[in-house]
Amino acid sequence: MTQSLPDLIQLAQRYDQELPPLAGDVASIAELPILSLIDQTLLKPEATAAQVQQLCIEAREFPFASVCINPVFVPMVSKLLQGTSIKVCSVAGFPLGACLTKTKVSETLQLIDSGAHEIDMVLSVGLLKGGEFQAVLEDVQGVVEASHAQGVLVKVILETCLLSRFEKIIACLLCQSAGADFVKTSTGFNTAGATVEDIDLMRRVVGSPSITGVKAAGGIRSLADARAMVRAGANRIGSSAGTKIAKELQAES
């Protein structure tokens, strides 16, 4: 998606009045195994190596998409998950998104060098809310270009609980224009996490899941929660309750 900034703003204004319909292939997400959509997550600042190791032991029992952990644990997790299909995911500019772009890029490159396959970066929320859309675009582009050069995908955390409807829309369009692979709702460290309404909005804005992914994160603690997000259009779920969700699924079947 390559549109000028004025065109993106105009499109966001139009979508703010009336969102486009859901893409025809959104319903196909529900046909995927739900565990394959889950990023099993532990990002608490007090998380220990022992807890992260246990997370990986549990993750090896189930076909999760990834294990998402703080940067300090990436080398260890990379070794623990070696030989599995589970990706190593970590975070850049987390949890505020307020650091310099070059800091996010440097952190991203170090994470990739340490074994990360996916980067969840935090959008510069203050710049977005201040209307500095070109700066937001360039911030995301910097991380995307550094990651894609090494075959690593990027999810951009919008922190939706802090944004107006228009800000959510323009953020999605800026991230998509910058080449991000996913837009993501939340860090899980602010006033609220993912909502069905936000997932529906984000999916309608970015269109087909084959073009741009939508990740729901924050407050997803059950199989019912995860399914609600998938029905709304999420094709990735960030949750610290991945093992619980997997066991609910086992009990159900």
- Closest by CA to 184, choosing from 74, 41, 30, is 41
* Contacts (Cβ under 8 Å, ≥6 apart) of 66: 39, 40, 86, 87, 88, 89, 117, 118
Q: Would you please indicate which residues are annotated as catalytic (active-site) residues?
A: 120, 184, 215
CA–CA distance, 93 with 121 (Å, rounded to integer): 6
Residue 95, preceding peptide bond in cis (omega within 30° of 0)? yes
The helix/strand count (H/E) of the chain reads as: 10, 8
| DSSP 3-state of 92 | strand
CA–CA distance, 21 with 155 (Å, rounded to integer): 23
CA–CA distance, 69 with 115 (Å, rounded to integer): 12
For residues 89-117, one letter each, b for 16 or more C-beta atoms within 10 angstroms of the residue's C-beta and e for the rest, the string is bbbbbbbebebebeebbebbbebbebbbb
Kind plus residue range of the DSSP H or E element containing 231: helix 223-232
Retrieve residue 100's tokens. Answer: 């310099």
